[in-house]
Chain A
Amino acid sequence: MAEQEFAYFLGCIMNNRYPGIEKATRIMFDKLGIGLKDMEGASCCPAPGVFGSFDRTTWASIAARNITIAEDQGNDILTECNGCFGSLYETNHLLHEDPEMKDKVNNILAEVGREYKGEVNVRHFAEILYNDVGLDKLSEKVTDPLNLNVAVHYGCHFLKPSAEIDIDDPIQPTILDELVEVTGAKSVPYKDKMMCCGAGGGLRSRDLDVTLSFTREKLQNMKEAGVDAIVNVCPFCHLQFDVGQTEVNKKYEEKWEIPVFHLAQLYGMAMGVSKDDLTVDAHQICVDSAL
């Protein structure tokens, strides 16, 4: 019987593109004795920089609907996507601070028989691992220590806006580096580490060239630091580094092939989850050099 249980928010890209991240997470949380309860009927978060840019009311209403599913469970939400975390966390915050907006959203939710109450917290899975589980317990579960030099990519919506989120220093954080190093891998410092992957805010679909110039700059900085792999905590960043490398290769006629792992997959590797279950063979960029 699990002592602790979370409402497991899937989102889109993890479950609909990289199911190995979801699989690894379910296996890991089982090992840790933490329950993950499916949020049946949840939808897209929806993406903060995309739907938030189109229409704030629609964005907050769909996000609030997702939150009400967790409220029905009485569980805090766990998500392992920075974008989903951003949308759900920000909506929770906004509706808490702005009663007018809350009324507006609840009027819309009333049409589908729901009401946002503001009773649960929205949490990022990396922060739960760090604060609730702890590095000690995590290291106990490591059965296959990794010998890798890793470029940690924080992404944008995990720690920022820090005035509202307050997980770690947004400019010089250590939380992910500490989490990565529990596996035996080494987090290598690199230039402009906190820079965006380039995919967010609707830029990837609006202007891929600009997005790729972000990604390429990050790849160059990572390469200079001599890394074996990129580790992220956001399936969208994950996609941007995985698919994005093939796009950079095409556009710039280069040959980038740095393996990309979500933190859940990295833990999977360190905890003996099979390569098959991690679905790393389905990545665009071959990961064999890092296995």
Chain B
Amino acid sequence: MIMSFLNRLKKVITGEGEPEDKKPEETTKTEQPQVESEPKQPPVEEKEPEPEPSTEETVKAEVETAPQEETPKEEVPTEEKAAETEEPETPVTTEPEKTEETEPESPEEESEEAVEEEPKKERSVSMTLLNAEENKITRADIDPNFKQAVMDAGAESVAICFQCGTCTGACPSGRRTPYRIRQLVRRAVMGLKDDVISDDTIWMCTTCYECQERCPRGIKIVDVVKIVRNYAAQAGYMAPAHKMTGSFVIKTGHGVPINDATQELRKRVGLDQLPPTTHTFPEALEEVQKITKAAGFDKLIGYNWETGEIE
């Protein structure tokens, strides 16, 4: 079924029959007397695109993941349109797209080299459309409330994202890690809650706002990231180091509490040995602790009030 789609697609693009049958094409065209000289060009053109797919694919791998995430039925029209605007590649290119997508996810910055070397292997192995069952996203993966929850929590603007990718292009984390902010937004909007919150890369964002400042839709992208992380934290995907930071605030009121060396320095320059914060005022620390309790933050990080440790 997929192959027949690919063939149809090929016909749409080239406006002719089977790719191998270039002769039929010529015959069709020679039937039109006036175009005699032209038929010889298409074959040439057809050869040119061949070396291209590799570069084309790399670009697509970056820019297009949405099709993979669509439900299979919607996929057909989307891909068709996408392909039409691209160079007339052979339809096979729609597949390496997916495998390559997982490739660059190695944290090293060598991804470019890797992509160049691997396609040959990939291409044969990677008829991922034929393994569609494994990659299929179904209704069961979608949490219909998640998008609304993301919006309710303050990122209403996410609904108008048109997936241009400007955010990913601006992202300094995306230049060195597999973190792809455009994908995160897309998956959040689709309601792929479990998929998104279990993804370690969502923690690669430094909240630098480069994406948000450049978003042509004015979407509060960093809010989206933070809200998605809130859900991830609730589901237990919080790093031990982060829980520790949380526990410091419960214990001292400070994410970075004072140490002996700094107390000495403070004394030396004539400042109070302890700053006039929760470090100096125990009743103020109590207030902070009550707030963390009331908000359920102690439970979120598994703070044990008796031992002062994370469980």
> Quick one: given A16-B259, A54-B230, are A111 and B294 in contact (CB under 8 Å)?
yes
* A210–B173 CA distance with the chains assembled, in angstroms: 8
Looking at the complex, which one of A44, A57, A160, A210 makes contact with B209 (CB distance below 8 Å)? A160
Please tell me if the beta carbons of A170 and B269 are within 8 angstroms of each other in the complex: no
Which B residues, 268 to 300, have Cβ-Cβ distances below 8 Å to chain A? 268-271, 275-281, 283-288, 290-292, 294-297, 300
Which B residues, 81 to 109, have Cβ-Cβ distances below 8 Å to chain A? 107
Report the minimal beta-carbon distance from B154 to chain A, rounded to whole angstroms.
7
Please tell me if the beta carbons of B295 and A54 are within 8 angstroms of each other in the complex: no
Instruction: Name which residue of chain B comes closest to A170, CB basis.
Output: B213
Q: Is A47 an interface residue (CB 8 A)?
A: yes
Please tell me if the beta carbons of B283 and A41 are within 8 angstroms of each other in the complex: yes
Which B residues are CB-close (under 8 A) to A142? none
Instruction: Name which residue of chain A comes closest to B297, CB basis.
Output: A58
Q: Is B59 an interface residue (CB 8 A)?
A: no
Report the minimal beta-carbon distance from B300 to chain A, rounded to whole angstroms.
6
Most chain B CB neighbours (cut-off 10 Å) among A15, A23, A214: A15
Number of interface residues of A (CB under 8 A): 70
Report the minimal beta-carbon distance from B167 to chain A, rounded to whole angstroms.
13
Please tell me if the beta carbons of B207 and A108 are within 8 angstroms of each other in the complex: no
* A150–B239 CA distance with the chains assembled, in angstroms: 37
Number of interface residues of B (CB under 8 A): 71
> Quick one: given A206-B203, A277-B269, are A44 and B275 in contact (CB under 8 Å)?
no
Please tell me if the beta carbons of A65 and B291 are within 8 angstroms of each other in the complex: yes
Q: Could you say which of B22-30, B32-40, B184-192, B241-249 contacts chain A?
A: B241-249
Q: Could you say which of A70-78, A127-135, A179-187, A196-204 contacts chain B?
A: A196-204
Q: Which residues of B contact A (CB under 8 A)?
A: 107, 153-154, 172-173, 176-177, 203-210, 212-213, 218, 220, 222, 225-227, 229-230, 233, 238-239, 241-242, 244-246, 249, 253-259, 261-262, 265-266, 268-271, 275-281, 283-288, 290-292, 294-297, 300-301
Report the minimal beta-carbon distance from A130 to chain B, rounded to whole angstroms.
20
Please tell me if the beta carbons of B295 and A108 are within 8 angstroms of each other in the complex: yes
Looking at the complex, which one of A12, A26, A51, A61 makes contact with B256 (CB distance below 8 Å)? A12
Please tell me if the beta carbons of B256 and A207 are within 8 angstroms of each other in the complex: no
Which B residues are CB-close (under 8 A) to A48? 207
Instruction: Name which residue of chain B comes closest to A12, CB basis.
Output: B256
Most chain B CB neighbours (cut-off 10 Å) among A12, A51, A157: A12
Which B residues are CB-close (under 8 A) to A221? none
Looking at the complex, which one of A47, A111, A161, A210 makes contact with B204 (CB distance below 8 Å)? A210
Which B residues are CB-close (under 8 A) to A10? 275-277
Q: Is A143 an interface residue (CB 8 A)?
A: no
Q: Is A259 an interface residue (CB 8 A)?
A: no
Q: List 26 A-B contacts (CB under 8 A).
A: A12-B254, A15-B277, A16-B258, A40-B280, A41-B287, A42-B276, A47-B255, A49-B206, A52-B207, A54-B242, A55-B233, A56-B226, A56-B230, A62-B292, A101-B154, A108-B295, A156-B206, A161-B209, A200-B206, A202-B239, A203-B206, A205-B239, A206-B203, A206-B239, A207-B203, A207-B204
Which B residues are CB-close (under 8 A) to A51? 246, 249, 255
Q: Is A188 an interface residue (CB 8 A)?
A: no
Report the minimal beta-carbon distance from A204 to chain B, rounded to whole angstroms.
9
Please tell me if the beta carbons of A44 and B269 are within 8 angstroms of each other in the complex: no
Q: Is A46 an interface residue (CB 8 A)?
A: yes
* A108–B296 CA distance with the chains assembled, in angstroms: 10
Looking at the complex, which one of A19, A53, A94 makes contact with B271 (CB distance below 8 Å)? A19
Please tell me if the beta carbons of B288 and A65 are within 8 angstroms of each other in the complex: yes
* A220–B245 CA distance with the chains assembled, in angstroms: 30
* A205–B246 CA distance with the chains assembled, in angstroms: 12
* A200–B203 CA distance with the chains assembled, in angstroms: 11
Looking at the complex, which one of A12, A53, A58, A101 makes contact with B255 (CB distance below 8 Å)? A12
Report the minimal beta-carbon distance from A88 to chain B, rounded to whole angstroms.
14
Report the minimal beta-carbon distance from A57 to chain B, rounded to whole angstroms.
5
Most chain A CB neighbours (cut-off 10 Å) among B107, B257, B262: B262
Please tell me if the beta carbons of A52 and B226 are within 8 angstroms of each other in the complex: yes
* A10–B291 CA distance with the chains assembled, in angstroms: 20
Please tell me if the beta carbons of B269 and A23 are within 8 angstroms of each other in the complex: yes
Report the minimal beta-carbon distance from A159 to chain B, rounded to whole angstroms.
9
Which A residues are CB-close (under 8 A) to B256? 12-13, 16-17, 44
Please tell me if the beta carbons of B276 and A40 are within 8 angstroms of each other in the complex: yes
Please tell me if the beta carbons of B294 and A43 are within 8 angstroms of each other in the complex: no
* A160–B284 CA distance with the chains assembled, in angstroms: 30
Please tell me if the beta carbons of A202 and B203 are within 8 angstroms of each other in the complex: yes
Please tell me if the beta carbons of B287 and A16 are within 8 angstroms of each other in the complex: no
Which A residues are CB-close (under 8 A) to B290? 111-112
Q: Is A246 an interface residue (CB 8 A)?
A: no
Looking at the complex, which one of B245, B276, B300 makes contact with A55 (CB distance below 8 Å)? B300
Which B residues are CB-close (under 8 A) to A277? 269-270
Please tell me if the beta carbons of B246 and A54 are within 8 angstroms of each other in the complex: yes
* A282–B268 CA distance with the chains assembled, in angstroms: 12
* A199–B204 CA distance with the chains assembled, in angstroms: 10
Which A residues, 249 to 280, have Cβ-Cβ distances below 8 Å to chain B? 276-277, 279
Report the minimal beta-carbon distance from B308 to chain A, rounded to whole angstroms.
17
Which B residues are CB-close (under 8 A) to A162? 213
Please tell me if the beta carbons of A38 and B276 are within 8 angstroms of each other in the complex: yes
Most chain A CB neighbours (cut-off 10 Å) among B213, B218, B296: B213
Instruction: Name which residue of chain A comes closest to B266, CB basis.
Output: A19
